[in-house]
Amino acid sequence: MPATEIAVSSAGKVGDKEMLIPTGQQGAVLPHVQDWVTGKLKAKVSVKDISATVLVKGIKQWAVFEEKSGPKKFGLPSKSRNPCCAPAAPAIALLDLTQLEMSKITHIELPAPGGAELKSARLAAGLSQVEAAELMGYPVQAGSRGGLQSRTWQALESAQDERNMPGPVFALFLLLTHQHPVFSLTPKVDGLRPTEDQAT
């Protein structure tokens, strides 16, 4: 996890906790939090976790540590919980949230299907046009000869209609009908995101 050292100042007490505010002054940027940790351990720097006693304004994920030899404070992303400290002024080590969030996104190709491809996928799933439309949230109407129909789905499958199903919607249809060539839907375990091994 990348980490950026950012100076903070104290804004006093909020209830029984001290409020720390990032000043915007940045220090070292490391490719991984552990690189900073290793450096401090080699320097024999002793720190104490005081996360429960402080608040950090504008930071979603953090942990705060204090050097036992002085009042210097800094924070780390809460998922890291690895001790670090700033060498001089009070500072916060922040996780690069942009890089973290991007690493959680699964990028897949999302081409829009033609009418024939959509029809083939529907038939392979064993669904009627009405059933497929209901699955994907498309409108269904009463047919002129009784029963139900989906004029929207009919248009998406028609070779004469210029409209195509959007790629992301088609990808979801393939996932829901277990036809996606690369990915499958995996239930979460205890509300957690599936691991890379589980997200097949």
Mean pLDDT for the stretch of residues 122-131:
96
Q: What is the reported pLDDT for 75? A: 52
Asked if 19 and 53 sit in the same domain, the reply is yes
Q: Which two tokens stand for residue 117?
A: 């491809």
Tell me whether residue 141 is in a domain: yes
Give me the chain's average pLDDT, please.
Answer: 74
Q: What is the reported pLDDT for 53? A: 81
Asked if 93 and 31 sit in the same domain, the reply is yes
Reported as type and span, the H/E element at residue 167 is helix 167-176
Asked if 63 and 149 sit in the same domain, the reply is no
Asked if 163 and 126 sit in the same domain, the reply is yes
Residue 23 pLDDT > 50? yes
pTM over the 0.85 mark: no
159: containing domain = 107-200
Mean pLDDT for the stretch of residues 181-192:
73
Asked if 21 and 85 sit in the same domain, the reply is yes
Radius of gyration of the chain (CA): 27
Asked if 32 and 7 sit in the same domain, the reply is yes
Q: DSSP letters of 96-137?
A: -HHHHHHHTPPP---PPPPHHHHHHHHHHTT--HHHHHHHHT
Asked if 75 and 15 sit in the same domain, the reply is yes
147-181 pLDDT, tens digit each: 899 999 999 999 999 999 999 999 999 999 999 98
Last residue of a domain, one of 46, 66, 97: 97
- Measured in whole angstroms, the distance separating CA 175 from the mean position of its chain's CA atoms is 19
In the chain, % of residues over pLDDT 70: 58
Asked if 144 and 56 sit in the same domain, the reply is no
Q: What is the reported pLDDT for 169? A: 95
Asked if 84 and 111 sit in the same domain, the reply is no
Split into its structural domains, the chain has a count of 2
Q: What is the reported pLDDT for 104? A: 58
Residue 63 pLDDT > 70? no
Q: What is the reported pLDDT for 96? A: 38
Last residue of a domain, one of 69, 97, 125: 97
72-126 pLDDT, tens digit each: 455 554 444 444 444 444 444 443 344 444 555 667 778 999 999 999 999 999 9
Asked if 91 and 125 sit in the same domain, the reply is no
Q: CA-based angle 101:22:90, to the nearest 5? A: 115
Tell me whether residue 102 is in a domain: no
